[in-house]
Amino acid sequence: MLDFDTAQNRLVQAGTRPEIAERVTVDQARGRILANNVSAAINIPPADNSAMDGYAIRFADFQEGISYPIQQRVYAGDLPQAIQPGQAIRLFTGSLIPEGADTIVIQEDCTETDGKLHINVAPVQGQHVRFTGEDMPAGKAILLKGTVIGSGQIAILASQGVTEIDVFPVPKIGILTTGNELAEPGQPLHAGQIYNSNASMLASLVKQLGSNVVRIVHAADTLEEIQDAISSLAEECDLVLTVGGVSVGDKDLVKPAIEASGGDMEMWRVRMKPGKPVALARLKGTPIVGLPGNPVSAYAVFTLMVSPLIRTMQGRTEVLPPLSYGRLDSQQDYQGDREEFLRVKAKSMPDGVLGLTPHAQQGSSIISSLAWASGLARIPADTKIAGGSTVAYYDFNLWGY
């Protein structure tokens, strides 16, 4: 059985990075992945301007006790005259710095009487000037290929006057749920049945990553139905996720169905808890990940193992889920021969440490723990972890970034 990190790395390698790009408007680009490096086309700011409301002077003209005739009033967007020696120009935040002026005196440090300025606090040369290109010099790389476009990246692009960018296509993902016992939400629940919660849960997780579920299929526990569904999903999608039927029970037919369709098993079973039965296969070039049916296992495997694969297929530079560290707030010691992922609720403590409280029910069928938890605490295999220890923590809210 593979250890967790090796298996996670296999999943990263199983994804093909995109080679083509598509053009989208910047306003539609949120959550997409940049397909090219972007360099600054213009200096930001494009010209020296004032950071404050006040007056521009030539620093060399400053003397205590003298006054300065006010030559001009310049609002943001106006073009100033060159400043005359011994004079001041009134300006405001964002006003261009007049040629010859080099220092801004803020209005709180001045008095203006009869069109003349008196400076009450000695200025420092160059103060309150925003210099051309100090934010983004023309030609400098400002965004790198593989970056997720968020609000800050959109601000950069808009500040450069850019309206369209090249992003990678969104991978098309298909989901296959399996099990004779499953009923669809909205349908009556007959004796022996449970509702199919994994389909909606996985579709939501895929969306949270900025990808797209193109088809969801359900198959009963027969080789024929599962085989048909896998073949057609593999044809249509860039990645197929199956859920359930991947363990060692009589009705665990996902592996046999993949093999009967001519697919290759690349990996099966990982030393992790929950999620041990996870499988990786390939059918006619399309990767297939078999997730365990228990909802908590499916959720954990998706976030820890499937998300790195999807991130690779999206063209992201950062493919592993972001990690932080916290203190396990538990009386219990943990030790096992598998990497264990506990559903925990994180809370910032007064000492500045992130406290991680495990959910009381860590069973892999406890769906209610998924909404309660803020993330997963990682307990390394074959290591005794006492309550109060510092452990790695995966925050559910960071998976989309």
Site residues for ligand AMP per CB under 6 A: 177, 179, 181-182, 194, 196-199, 243-245, 247, 249, 292-295
Binding site for Mg ion (CB under 5 A): 179, 244-245, 293
Write down the least CB distance from residue 291 to ligand AMP, Å: 9
Q: Which does 249 bind (CB under 5 to 8 A by kind): Mg ion, ligand AMP, none?
A: ligand AMP
Residue 142 near residue 40, CB atoms below 8 Å: yes
Q: In the complex with Mg ion, which residue's Cβ is closer, 179 or 275?
A: 179
Distance (Å, whole) CA 237 – CA 173: 5
Q: In the complex with ligand AMP, which residue's Cβ is closer, 247 or 314?
A: 247
Write down the least CB distance from residue 196 to Mg ion, Å: 11
Q: What are phi and psi of 251, to 5 degrees?
A: -100, 20
Pairing relationship of beta strands 88-91 and 67-74 according to DSSP bridges? parallel
Q: In the complex with ligand AMP, which residue's Cβ is closer, 159 or 197?
A: 197
Write down the least CB distance from residue 190 to ligand AMP, Å: 14
Q: Which does 181 bind (CB under 5 to 8 A by kind): Mg ion, ligand AMP, none?
A: ligand AMP
Write down the least CB distance from residue 386 to ligand AMP, Å: 32
The CA dihedral of 250, 251, 256, 261, to the nearest 10 degrees, is 150
Q: Which does 182 bind (CB under 5 to 8 A by kind): ligand AMP, Mg ion, none?
A: ligand AMP
Distance (Å, whole) CA 90 – CA 68: 11
Chain residue whose CB lies nearest ligand AMP: 293
Bridge partners of residue 286, in order along the sequence: 283
Q: In the complex with ligand AMP, which residue's Cβ is closer, 311 or 343?
A: 343
Distance (Å, whole) CA 369 – CA 300: 12
Q: Which does 26 bind (CB under 5 to 8 A by kind): ligand AMP, Mg ion, none?
A: none
- E strand or H helix that includes residue 390: strand 390-395
Write down the least CB distance from residue 293 to Mg ion, Å: 5
Distance (Å, whole) CA 342 – CA 278: 17
- The string of DSSP letters for 79-91 reads PPPPPPTT-EEEE
